[in-house]
Structure 1
């Protein structure tokens, strides 16, 4: 196979109310709304498209690992520990449900946050090397 997968272009997230959720992402996370109808909204942020899709009650992108711990499916990256601390404070000020900043035993620090529908996300203080080289050089 000569071709290879290049990037993740779109992530789909289940939501109960497309209107409320798209407004939350725009106001709380600074997403740019590019399309919306009754069943879906297309948002652009963090260098990809996020589709909010109207789903049945109690649907989230979360899953449980073998130890019964609820896990997230997406980790967002910020550029360094100071940026992580700043966005953590900002999320608290915007009344976003967030966890504490954690040391998970690897490089950098992390914290989790949740959207209106309970979708759990991670934020990591380390930008990937390839992203830095391509976009911040």
Structure 2
């Protein structure tokens, strides 16, 4: 059975991702310093991070120890993947800044990947693929 999806009212993409942080101001500074995001919409317990005029992350102050990751067979897995046009340059820059990153993994036709952890232990994936075009 084929769904009849209208061209109106469709989901067009993901607007931003919400992640928990123990120290919102410190986390916002870390993200802007390491990724060049700009902080907007400061609230008492949250701040939005943008790339130019596009929202990327929303940091939410949380005293709960849950973080943005889950486990599969005991191994931490990420829930957010960032896309880059130069994974080696980004990887080297983050390493030089002391960011906890994994080695770059070349997965053939699936592209290149590495993971990183932010100050709160939230886990993220970074992906580069020369044959995929993302609109952002």
TM above 0.5, one fold? yes
Q: How many residues align?
A: 129
- Does 2:36 align with 1:30? yes
Q: TM-score, normalised by structure 2?
A: 0.84
Larger Cα Rg: Structure 1 or Structure 2? 2
Displacement of 1:129 in angstroms is: 3.3
- Measured after TM superposition, the shift of residue 99 of structure 1 is 0.6
Listed as ranges, the gaps of 5+ residues in structure 1 are none
- Asked if 1:6 is matched to 2:12, the reply is yes
| 2:123 matches 1:120 | yes
Cα distance change on mapping 1:43 and 1:121 into 2, 3 Å: same
Runs of 4+ in 1 over 4 A off after TM superposition: none
Q: Which of 58, 66, 77 is 1:51 aligned to?
A: 58
TM-aligned CA deviation for residue 57 of structure 1? 3.8
- Is 1:88 the equivalent of 2:91? yes
CA RMSD of the aligned region, Å? 2.0
- Structure 2 unaligned residues grouped into runs of 5+: none
Residues of 1 paired with 2:43 and 2:131: CA distance? 34
* TM-score (structure 1 length as normaliser): 0.84
Please identify which structure carries the higher helix content. Answer: 1
